[in-house]
A and B are shown apart, each in its own frame.
Chain A
């Protein structure tokens, strides 16, 4: 133990990831990112979509191989070949869903899949001892022969986590562990985390709910665009600073280009869509907003604020729990997307691949998907009319393809997105909901699409835009609704909406001077 002879300085961190680099087919996901976690520390890892949190964790747990950088664990170089290998070496990951068998004993739940056997039979004494020993590690003393459902939820949760963590774990990764839990369950989880901490186990806690971080974490590392922006004690950083770092904005920076918005305001007309007190089963608790004719309304908010969920409810893609919608002066209660489409609403999903394109179909077939019923007479498609529509939109939006019959999967992301926009424009909607319309497309196409959206609004279309890029929302919207943890907390006009003001509301939920509450 020569180490103990060295004068006490800062103890070596349990985990140290330095200058980690990773690219996927030429697209940089991580660029010199680093992360340090101390022994017995609960360390928050935060960042917006695409910041590189998940990639970082996948590299640590051996799910992905890194391109560059070093990882040290307990002072020695660390290399995991697979998540199982990482677990064997002391790094466990807890997933949201934990499967337990409630009516079997605690021992059975813990030893499932790794039963001790003697003479081909189960060795119960050994297994009970093993279960007791594991639980003792987390300071839990219960009768392990009792069925699991005899115990309270907190204990059950603890048993589940003990099972997942096992004997060896010194570092536990929790990737958005609270996203599917209600408030009481979250409290239980926090107790478990504190217990882990007392047992000397370190935790990496990935979340986008800022309040939770302050409740349970010691330090925070903020990532953005594949880089580590900042590591700080949570006691020494405000929520506002966290939000600013995540979004990459300086607090004082109020450089907002007021690009020709003045003349737009005159064209904004009557409300097309009014939503009051929308509530979903999950994630959306109380959201109110309105979109007017010729107006681009933007939703700002952090990941998980309920922006997408709100939009999907309006479109009938997800069920509305309560609240009311008025569209064009008449109540709207869509039970399925078709209901909303018939009223003149279009919706472009944030996930182009999963919910947008039909990869095996042609540009033409994809473009006319929503319009199809109108292109058919007595159920027979009118090919000539279809061709006319498709050619018109290929020309108007500048879609680069070899022709209407090219398969859409072969197009670039930006051109796919244009086809999807055309899908809705072709049916001449009154309201277009765009969820992340420029995500994952190159800069040129992005500018084109942003320009197109403004042009459409000028022509009288009402647009509801969601973007995780604050800049895009601020510059592209006439009005901004800020959502925070499922509630609309502020409504700001284009001129009122400085980055500072919006970020303040995103962070605190409370209205600041520049922000008014809706209604």
Chain B
């Protein structure tokens, strides 16, 4: 009863509103502002920064994080988390070469083989994501635990599939997704941009997007208002799996080989960091796909800046962590 009495006082005192609004503004654009400042710093101090090549290097490196981050943003918007993304990347990355190298069924036509490999491996990753959603909704397991299952087991599955061996290949039709260009833009950047646009639109304009935010904002209220909570959760984890699968294909295409031990290693943390820095609430209910893009670009550029200026990678990890803390703290200022 006390909580209820205290809870009644929800109108902010006058005057505080303006301050809260300006703080919200700071929070909203702090990451973008930091990104712009970082770019300006590089323009001034880093040699050869203003070049198409630099742009492409950074975008190709960030693409997989953003692709995974798109799914992660949707998951986090429902107040969940997905730790299995890196392992699902490894599974998709292990499965695709098995198919297009004809290890299961020899396929004569190379484009058919590549298409089958892509579709099947991404679908498997999506199905495993769906499985995460099933664990979470069917047994009411906390997402961090439920997805820990595939975080651990998934990489094991990938290693078993490949007997722990590296799978080298050279197949331009497949590797287009990591090495190809479309109008001079790296293919994976095109994929990334398309996914960001689709997800951002979904979140803002579609019934599904609204349901995601409702579930994250107040799951009990959402359920009582007829939002199919379990279905929504199945879908977001499934989509996160699909995104992971696509990212796994990009990684192996770039590497011309698939190594189940390394594909997607640590990706869950990079993706979560990008989402958090981008301004999506980890407690759910508020999410921004474009924010995740900006967050990932920011983290990427921090790393690039430090490397380009001769600071060793170990140190740059510390700086990266510190900047993430700062960015998330700044956003915290906007919450009231």
1/0 per residue, CB under 8 A from A, across B215-239: the answer is 0011011111111100000000000
Shortest CB distance A415–B (Å): 10
B214 touches A24 (CB 8 A): no
A164 contacts partner chain B, Cβ-Cβ < 8 Å: no
Interface of A is mostly: mixed
For A315, what are the chain B residues with a Cβ–Cβ distance below 8 Å?
224
A381 touches B220 (CB 8 A): no
Instruction: Given A358-B217, A359-B217, A410-B12, decide whether A338 and B2 contact each other with a Cβ distance below 8 A.
Output: no
Within 8 A of A (CB), among B164-218: 205-208, 210-211, 213-214, 217-218
Report the separation of the CA atoms of residues A360 and B211 in the bound assembly, to the nearest whole angstrom: 13
A117 contacts partner chain B, Cβ-Cβ < 8 Å: no
For B12, what are the chain A residues with a Cβ–Cβ distance below 8 Å?
410
Report the separation of the CA atoms of residues A388 and B277 in the bound assembly, to the nearest whole angstrom: 36
A354 touches B228 (CB 8 A): no
Instruction: Given A27-B8, A358-B217, decide whether A64 and B224 contact each other with a Cβ distance below 8 A.
Output: no
Instruction: Given A337-B223, A410-B12, decide whether A50 and B4 contact each other with a Cβ distance below 8 A.
Output: yes
A428 contacts partner chain B, Cβ-Cβ < 8 Å: no
Q: Which of B6, B8, B11, B286 has the most CB of A within 10 A?
A: B8
For A413, what are the chain B residues with a Cβ–Cβ distance below 8 Å?
8, 10
Task: Specify which of B9, B205, B222 is in contact with A27 (CB 8 Å cutoff).
Answer: B9
Interface of B is mostly: helix
Report the separation of the CA atoms of residues A416 and B11 in the bound assembly, to the nearest whole angstrom: 11
A410 touches B210 (CB 8 A): no
Stretch of A118-126, A195-203, A287-295, A367-375 that contacts chain B: A367-375
Task: Specify which of A24, A357, A365, A412 is in contact with B210 (CB 8 Å cutoff).
Answer: A365
Within 8 A of A (CB), among B1-49: 1-2, 4-12
Report the separation of the CA atoms of residues A355 and B7 in the bound assembly, to the nearest whole angstrom: 14
1/0 per residue, CB under 8 A from B, across A38-60: the answer is 00000000000111111100100
Instruction: Given A29-B2, A409-B10, decide whether A381 and B206 contact each other with a Cβ distance below 8 A.
Output: yes
B211 touches A372 (CB 8 A): yes
For B7, what are the chain A residues with a Cβ–Cβ distance below 8 Å?
353, 440
B208 touches A317 (CB 8 A): no
Task: Specify which of A27, A357, A370, A409 is in contact with B5 (CB 8 Å cutoff).
Answer: A27
A112 contacts partner chain B, Cβ-Cβ < 8 Å: no
How many of chain A's residues touch chain B, expressed as a range? 35 or more
Task: Specify which of B1, B2, B224, B286 is in contact with A360 (CB 8 Å cutoff).
Answer: B286
Shortest CB distance A366–B (Å): 9
Report the separation of the CA atoms of residues A355 and B224 in the bound assembly, to the nearest whole angstrom: 7
For B221, what are the chain A residues with a Cβ–Cβ distance below 8 Å?
349, 354-358, 369
Shortest CB distance B18–A (Å): 13
A379 touches B208 (CB 8 A): yes
Shortest CB distance B306–A (Å): 35
A369 touches B225 (CB 8 A): yes
Within 8 A of B (CB), among A73-90: none
A361 contacts partner chain B, Cβ-Cβ < 8 Å: yes
B214 touches A369 (CB 8 A): yes
Instruction: Given A24-B2, A25-B6, A410-B10, decide whether A355 and B220 contact each other with a Cβ distance below 8 A.
Output: yes
- Using a CB–CB cutoff of 8 Å, the interface residues on chain B facing chain A are 1-2, 4-12, 205-208, 210-211, 213-214, 217-218, 220-228, 281, 285-286
Q: List 8 A-B contacts (CB under 8 A).
A: A26-B9, A51-B1, A58-B2, A337-B226, A360-B217, A369-B227, A380-B206, A381-B210
